[in-house]
Structure 1
Amino acid sequence: MLYYLFEYLDKTLDVSGTGVFQYITVRSALAFMLSLLLSTIYGKRIIQFLQRQQVGETVRELGLAGQNEKAGTPTMGGLIIIFATLVPVILFAKLHNIYVVLLIVTTLWMGTIGFVDDYIKIFKKDKAGLKGIFKVFGQVGLGLIVGTVLYFSPAVTVRQDTGKIDIFRVTTENVIVQTPVEEKSTVTTIPFFKNNEFDYAELLAWTGDGYHKWAWLVFIPVVIFIITAVSNGANLTDGIDGLAAGTSAVSVLALGIFTFVSGNIIFSNYLNIMYIPNSGEMTVFIAAFVGALIGFLWYNSYPASVFMGDTGSLTIGGIIAVLAIAVRKEMLIPLLCGIFLVENLSVVLQVSYFKYTKKRFGEGRRIFLMSPLHHHYQKKGYHESKIVTRFWIVAIMLAILSIITLKLR
């Protein structure tokens, strides 16, 4: 909203200094600072409100050190993240930008699913929460919306091979203009390969001529799968104080770098990557989101004063997935969100192996002492703050390696 005000002051009233608000970097910095202030200052008030409403965590008997002491700690802290993200976005971002709209919808959509799940657990006293099938329906619904918009919206375009074309040309009037080569495409990026662009439509090449018009049959299911997988991965990672928020902040910050360079024609040309028009505006959202996550860590670090609950974890996963898809870096998710991946895999392997051995030997056996993986290390006697710190370090290493793929091919 403030963006439009300052745009009016600059272009209509010609007020000196208001033009600086046109820069993404300025608005991103303001969004980050405001988000950080909102999450730290008003976060305490939200926690106090949750305490008055007796929104306390019910702790299962897991046999983990320090677990019982967490009983009664306020949950639904994801409301802090959502609030501290959306307010700066509404103030500083271009609200007509298709990518910003998608991210706002994602935040509200996944936040609602998580809120309903937490509400059922707390107020209905049902530890199972929202039935899994309804969660999946919600995730699939969001995937359909995101996939459909990204595929069919004329506002979503890319410019490929920026390093092989002239970005600017000089006309006879000596006016510098951009070369119009933007196009609709389902192309994405394959990390670590030199010619690293892959078009989902190619999977339908066997159908004959005109196969590109059916690319949505591949693209939309891929979007649904990624959103579902990443949101569930974030949900499983949220098990000990500060783990999900800290690792997510690192991943989102890396995505912010990808978003900024992909949305800037000069940087995308220098790095020889896809230029995605208008995607740079997502940097404002990312800055606000990172500020909210860091501010939330103020209260969620060990010993936690509040838990994010599914309200926060599902929202975080959904946002990360949509960001990666929008910036055409979804194939980097296994690397960039490696913590989410191993947490997911640890549960899948544990359950699958237990069922297999029970069927074959009559007694279920386990690979890990407990799953998800962070609980395995707790069972081994590691303090949860040590586990979290080491997971953060791994997340930083994975983020750096992901950023390196911009040049390492």
Structure 2
Amino acid sequence: MLYYVLYALRDYISPFNVFRYITFRTAVAIITAMGITFLLAPETIKFLKRISLTQQIRSDGPQTHLTKAGTPTMGGVLIVISTAVSILLWGNLSNRHVWILLISTICFSAIGFWDDFLKVSKRNTKGLRAKYKFGLQIGVALAIAVAQYLNVSDPYSTSLIVPFFKKWLFDFGIFYVPFSVFVIVGSSNAVNLTDGLDGLASGLVAIAVFATGVLVYISGHAGLAQYLQVIYINGIGELTVCCGAIFGASLGFLWYNTHPAEVFMGDVGSLGLGGALGTLATLTKHEIVLVVVGGIFVIETISVILQVGSFKLTGKRIFRMAPIHHHFELKGWLEPKTVVRFWIIGFMLALLSLATIKLR
């Protein structure tokens, strides 16, 4: 909203012309999201403690986690609020891609909020039943996928771009809809599985969305896209502002979520952030790159699948505990060391995803 007001003043005060640039608004969106988080976090944490919305710790998990009992959860509302406000302030709201991403983030966060609320308000429940949880996620993802499929103005709406190759893509046609649903729902739950250590998910999301933002900006810039031989998608560059908002919100939340965490994001944060990353990937046609930039999320998910599959088939476990970050904890890695090492790997994967730009 402020974007429209301030940019309209350019005819009277020339410096306001700077608001036309996506890079400038992205920087402002980062600062805004971080500022809102810092402003709201202290009182939000106190409020969550006061109404006893605190994390319940599994007795069969790492024993070092038992000290976390009583830590406020559902702090992900801070990320959602700061992201949404920042986007509404600095994004071009006439761009349909911005609305798709914003609605996706809010809807997935709402599912997570419901799940979290059931967990903390009824101590004898495991939250929202799986069939309802996945059903709602699939429903939201399906609506997003159909909206993209029906976008006749986008010639690549049903295409899958293969990185490392110059404009090599496959047109899935109607089958892109279920593929898109798989990517979005899978991304949402992958981030959710990763959210098990202080600062792990929020830090990795910040890294992933920063790298994604660079790719999005290039895809939406006609000159850069042509120079780097990347598929140009008209209007997609505006999502760079959204990436900036998510990045700023994640960093702001990380201030309070780093070890020892003052607040956990809960499913309201992890499902929302994961849904946002998945939606970004499908909107920008970077689904395969998402596997690279979000490699830790993928590894965490695969570790759970392998663990469950192995136990059901053979009665034996592959890892000491899944997701895999708990495996390393039980091997003796301290929690902060585990988190930082996973961040380092995430950063390396982000650099690799950016390298796909030149290796074409």
Normalising to structure 1: TM-score of the pair?
0.86
SS in 1 for 2:14: coil
Counterparts in 2 of 1:375 and 1:92: CA distance versus 1, 3 Å: same
Cα distance between partner residues in 2 of 1:69 and 1:243:
18
- Name the structure 1 match of 2:10: 10
Q: Of the candidates 190, 197, 212, which is equivalent to residue 162 of structure 2? A: 190
Whether contact under 8 Å (2:62, 2:330) holds in the other structure is yes
- Name the structure 1 match of 2:98: 100
Q: Does 1:353 align with 2:310?
A: yes
Instruction: Give the residue type in structure 2 aligned to 1:388.
Output: V
- Name the structure 2 match of 1:280: 237
Cα distance between partner residues in 1 of 2:241 and 2:95:
11
SS in 1 for 2:79: helix
Cα distance between partner residues in 1 of 2:120 and 2:265:
13
SS in 1 for 2:231: coil
After superposition, give the CA deviation of every residue in 1:136-194 in whole Å (9 maximum; x if it has no partner): 11111111111111111245x2xxxxxxxxxxxxxxxxxxxxxxxxx464223112234
Per-residue deviation, 1:80? 0.8
Counterparts in 2 of 1:285 and 1:195: CA distance versus 1, 3 Å: closer
Q: Does 1:298 align with 2:255?
A: yes
Counterparts in 2 of 1:150 and 1:338: CA distance versus 1, 3 Å: same
Counterparts in 2 of 1:122 and 1:63: CA distance versus 1, 3 Å: closer
- Name the structure 2 match of 1:39: 37
Counterparts in 2 of 1:70-109, with a 5 A limit? 70-109=68-107
Counterparts in 2 of 1:301 and 1:127: CA distance versus 1, 3 Å: farther
Q: Structure 1 unaligned runs (5+)? A: 158-182, 201-214, 358-363
Cα distance between partner residues in 2 of 1:5 and 1:313:
33
- Name the structure 2 match of 1:404: 355
Larger helix fraction of residues = 2
Counterparts in 2 of 1:116-155, with a 5 A limit? 116-155=114-153
- Name the structure 2 match of 1:324: 281
Cα distance between partner residues in 2 of 1:26 and 1:236:
34
Cα distance between partner residues in 2 of 1:91 and 1:391:
33
Cα distance between partner residues in 1 of 2:170 and 2:230:
13
Q: Structure 2 unaligned runs (5+)? A: none
- Name the structure 2 match of 1:339: 296
Cα distance between partner residues in 2 of 1:91 and 1:195:
34
Per-residue deviation, 1:135? 1.3
After superposition, give the CA deviation of every residue in 1:300-359 in whole Å (9 maximum; x if it has no partner): 0000000000000000110000011111110122211111111111111111111111xx
Counterparts in 2 of 1:127 and 1:392: CA distance versus 1, 3 Å: farther
- Name the structure 2 match of 1:115: 113
Cα distance between partner residues in 1 of 2:98 and 2:17:
21
Counterparts in 2 of 1:379-390, with a 5 A limit? 379-390=330-341
Whether contact under 8 Å (2:281, 2:287) holds in the other structure is yes
Counterparts in 2 of 1:154 and 1:195: CA distance versus 1, 3 Å: closer
Counterparts in 2 of 1:282 and 1:194: CA distance versus 1, 3 Å: closer
Per-residue deviation, 1:368? 0.4
Q: Percent identity among equivalent residues? A: 42
Cα distance between partner residues in 1 of 2:261 and 2:124:
23
Per-residue deviation, 1:65? 3.7
Cα distance between partner residues in 1 of 2:299 and 2:79:
24
Q: Does 1:371 align with 2:328?
A: no
Counterparts in 2 of 1:177-326, with a 5 A limit? 183=155, 185-194=157-166, 196-200=168-172, 215-216=173-174, 218-326=175-283
Per-residue deviation, 1:34? 1.1
Per-residue deviation, 1:63? 4.8
Whether contact under 8 Å (1:188, 1:199) holds in the other structure is yes
Q: Does 1:54 align with 2:11?
A: no
Cα distance between partner residues in 1 of 2:282 and 2:124:
35
Cα distance between partner residues in 2 of 1:323 and 1:385:
29
Count of residue pairs the alignment pairs up: 360
Per-residue deviation, 1:124? 1.8
Whether contact under 8 Å (1:2, 1:91) holds in the other structure is yes
SS in 1 for 2:62: coil
Normalising to structure 2: TM-score of the pair?
0.97
Per-residue deviation, 1:15? 3.3
Instruction: Give the residue type in structure 2 aligned to 1:3.
Output: Y
